[in-house]
Amino acid sequence: MREARLKTLVVVGVGLIGGSFALALKAAGRVDRVVGVGRTRENLQHALDAGLVDEVAESLACAAPGADVVLLAAPVGQTGRLMAQLAPCLNGRTIVTDAGSTKQDVVAMARTFLSMHIARFVPAHPIAGMERSGAAAATAELYRGRTVVLTPLPETDPAARDTVRSLWEACGAQVVEMAPDHHDRVLAAVSHLPHLLAFALMDLVGRHAEAETFLRFAGSGFRDVTRIAASSPEMWRDICLANREALLALVDAYCAELDEVRDLVAQGDGEALARLFARARQARQRLDQEA
Ligand SMILES: NC(=O)c1ccc[n+]([C@@H]2O[C@H](COP(=O)([O-])OP(=O)(O)OC[C@H]3O[C@@H](n4cnc5c(N)ncnc54)[C@H](O)[C@@H]3O)[C@@H](O)[C@H]2O)c1
Ligand SMILES: O=C(O)C(=O)C[C@]1(C(=O)O)C=C[C@@H](O)C=C1
């Protein structure tokens, strides 16, 4: 496959994900010029100062006509609005892609707002990130060794798909393909549910009458399970609502599991509790082996 090289990349939402994509492609020598489009002047100024972008455009309408590739990297709740702005500005050769954490909603928006351009829309999701957000958090190394999922559509132009694949590979990622509904079911279990649980646990402890004392004594265990509760509330609101069907099924399953564990503790059934913990530990060890 030919290595993709871009004259102009437009990044819409120059935060952790969009900024890191721009930095990684610049470091790999795959892009000549990056144009940023954003919501706040302060973040865009930071992106300029840090060299994530070479220019800032006032609007998508100003930036899009010269783009080889447009990356949508704003929270998924913005996708429809951004695609509607983008659609009239696209020429026949621009590839549009995204980095959203959910895929069925993004694909549905693309079918609605980019219908004339659907063959050159390549849905994507890097399984890489952290709890920090904004341009200041971006790094060229974020995607190295990580997985990026593409969820191409039956109509997707193979050349557009290969270009997007080649760009993520240049960032150091391994690219796999999945169907959008499969992607959303899998990510609900290993990303969306854990974030919801971390936010809920942190809220529970943070609102407790003895919160100050609790937090004073929080050790690394508590820090490990709540690190992701420091993530962007806007981004996670959008993800939870976009993938609510798969997420709610897992929340129900988790509540049932918690009830089971609760009963074992209440009954003082140490043997069954140890069996459950051992099964969980084995599954966790498998995760490390697969990494
Ligand atoms: N953070 C992660 O771990 C992670 C991982 C993979 C994918 N994602 C996805 O990537 C996307 C971006 O996440 P992020 O972590 O970079 O968030 P971020 O908050 O760091 O960056 C998002 C940027 O988008 C801008 N923005 C918001 N609305 C906009 C609009 N209407 N027009 C232009 N800019 C707008 C914000 O000002 C912000 O600078 C989200 O869709 C998220 O679901 C995030
Ligand atoms: O490491 C983190 O902080 C992340 O939350 C990254 C993480 C995840 O693994 O759940 C978050 C959202 C994504 O869409 C992909 C990656």
Q: Given 124, 146, 178, which residue is the final one in a domain?
A: 178
pLDDT of residue 107: 98
Q: Given 141, 163, 178, which residue is the final one in a domain?
A: 178
Indicate whether 118 pLDDT > 90. yes
Q: In what order do the strands lie in the sheet with 147-150?
A: 124-127, 147-150, 174-177
Other beta carbons within 10 angstroms of residue 282's beta carbon come to: 9
Same-domain pairing of 18 and 162: yes
Same-domain pairing of 171 and 45: yes
pLDDT tens sequence across 253-275: 999 999 999 999 999 999 999 99
Same-domain pairing of 129 and 192: no
Ligand having the closest approach to the CA of 109: 1
Indicate whether 157 pLDDT > 90. yes
Q: Given 138, 162, 178, which residue is the final one in a domain?
A: 178
Q: Give the pLDDT band (50/70/90) at residue 175.
A: very high
Same-domain pairing of 215 and 89: no
Look at the chain and report how many structural domains it folds into.
Answer: 2
CA 139 from chain centre, in angstroms, equals 15
* Residue 200 forms part of a structural domain: yes
pLDDT mean over 47-73: 96
Residue whose CA is closest, atom 14 of ligand 2? 101
Indicate whether 1 pLDDT > 80. no
Indicate whether 99 pLDDT > 80. yes
* Residue 20 forms part of a structural domain: yes
pLDDT of residue 268: 98
Same-domain pairing of 226 and 148: no
Residues near ligand 2 (Cβ within 6 A): 101, 127-131, 191, 228
Same-domain pairing of 137 and 196: no
Return d(Cα 246, Cα 255) in angstroms, integer. 15
pLDDT tens sequence across 141-151: 999 999 999 99
Helix 16-27 / helix 158-170 crossing angle, nearest 10 deg:
80
Return d(Cα 236, Cα 234) in angstroms, integer. 6
For the chain, the average pLDDT equals 97
pLDDT tens sequence across 15-44: 999 999 999 999 999 999 999 999 999 999
Return d(Cα 211, Cα 196) in angstroms, integer. 20
pLDDT tens sequence across 180-231: 999 999 999 999 999 999 999 999 999 999 999 999 999 999 999 999 999 9
Residue whose CA is closest, atom 37 of ligand 1? 39
Q: What is the CATH number of the domain that holds 236?
A: 1.10.3660.10
Ligand 1 mutation pick, 17, 195, 239, max ligand atoms within 8 A of CB: 17
Domain that holds residue 271: 182-290
The interface pTM score, or ipTM, of the predicted complex is: 0.99
Same-domain pairing of 154 and 191: no
Ligand 1 centroid vs 153 CA: distance in angstroms? 23
% of the chain with per-residue pLDDT over 70: 100
* Residue 53 forms part of a structural domain: yes
* Residue 1 forms part of a structural domain: no
Ligand 1 centroid vs 160 CA: distance in angstroms? 23
pLDDT of residue 290: 78
Residue whose CA is closest, atom 31 of ligand 1? 78
Q: What is the CATH number of the domain that holds 142?
A: 3.40.50.720
Same-domain pairing of 97 and 218: no
Ligand 1 centroid vs 130 CA: distance in angstroms? 12
